Amino acid sequence: MTAILSARRMLPFVPVVLGLLALSSVVVVDEGHQAVIERMGEPDRAINRFRPDKSDGAGVVLKIPFFERAIWLERGLQGFALAGTQVRTADEQVLLVDADVTYRIIDPVRLLQKLGQGDKVDAQFKALLPSLLEEKLTQRSALEIATPGSGGANREVLAALDAKTRLFGVQVVDLRVGRVGLPDAGLSQVFQRMKERRELEAKGIEEQSSREAGEVVAQTQAEAAAIMQASAGQDTEFYGFFKALRNYELLYGDPERKNAATIVIPPDSAYLKHFNGR
């Protein structure tokens, strides 16, 4: 009789227990997430896993209560940013580069088997990306890295990173080297090199101009001497007049110099006849 009474007292709780069992047996997966069902602590199967050629598997999924549990992961694209990676370029420039990665979890079961938790993906990128950036960017000049695509380095880093992340179920969809800058010490060195280069170029231009000016003067003097030699043979009177002017210019023609020289010559000197109109 006592047992029967106890059973009757438990009857109102039976629907509650059955309801709890039913609720713990059901997993509702939305379109933006994928779920991994763990059985006794081990990843067993994926629900709504991303497949590019198939529709999503969102909906209601059954699991064994108490023996299985669901772990939620993002199904869509996700991002990771790495700032301030220092690299030395092929032309010996030290740069600080930022990299942006877009990725997707394509094998959630493998992800949990390899990493244990979905939030450890960023830690993997942080460990893998700097060495790959250094490996690929050191083969290029600073100018190449600063151009869109970083001289093909983006594509190479993406391929190398994707090959490594697929080992734990992650696909790298896109990778871009963003801001490219110089550390403070590098900036001062670059400015100094630019200054030295400009000074060297200016010195070279000045020397070249001086050489060209000297060549022009020498050529002009040679042509003038040739003309005067030819004139001396054709017109001795004109040649004498020119020589007188030239001598006068040498003595008194420099405005920067006060010349106190005095010429004492007789009135019938051939030198004066050109200035006296004789």
Task: Please tell me the predicted confidence (pLDDT) of residue 174.
Answer: 94
In this predicted structure, what is the pLDDT of residue 119?
A: 84
Place of tokens 């006849």: 273
Indicate the range of 75-79, 143-147, 190-194, 204-208 predicted with least confidence: 190-194
pLDDT of 206 > 60? The answer is yes
Is the pLDDT at 182 greater than 50? The verdict is yes
Please tell me the predicted confidence (pLDDT) of residue 167: 95
pLDDT above 60 (res 3) = no
The C-alpha atoms of residue 101 and residue 81 are separated, in whole angstroms, by 6
Tell me: pLDDT of 37 over 70: yes
37 with 70: CB under 8 angstroms? yes
| pLDDT at residue 111, as a whole number | 94
| Third-level CATH fold of 78-187 | Tetrahydropterin Synthase; Chain A (3.30.479)
- Min mean pLDDT across 38-52, 66-80, 262-276 is at 262-276
Rounded to an integer, the average pLDDT of 146-167 is 87
Q: What is the pLDDT of residue 68?
A: 79
State the pLDDT at residue 18: 46
Backbone conformation region of residue 211, classed left if phi is above 0, alpha if psi is from -120 to 50, else beta: alpha
pLDDT exceeds 90 at position 101: yes
pLDDT band for 105, please (50, 70, 90 cuts): very high
* Domains in the chain: boundaries: 2-74, 78-187, 221-278
Predicted structure pTM score: 0.59
**Alpha carbon 227 to chain centroid distance?**
64
Give residue 112's region: left, alpha or beta (phi > 0; psi -120 to 50).
alpha
pLDDT score of 271: 59
pLDDT of res. 252: 61
Of 61-70, 76-85, 171-180, 199-208, where does mean pLDDT reach its minimum?
61-70
How far is C-alpha 201 from the chain's CA centre?
27
Mean pLDDT over 58-78 rounds to: 79
Mean residue pLDDT of the chain comes to 76
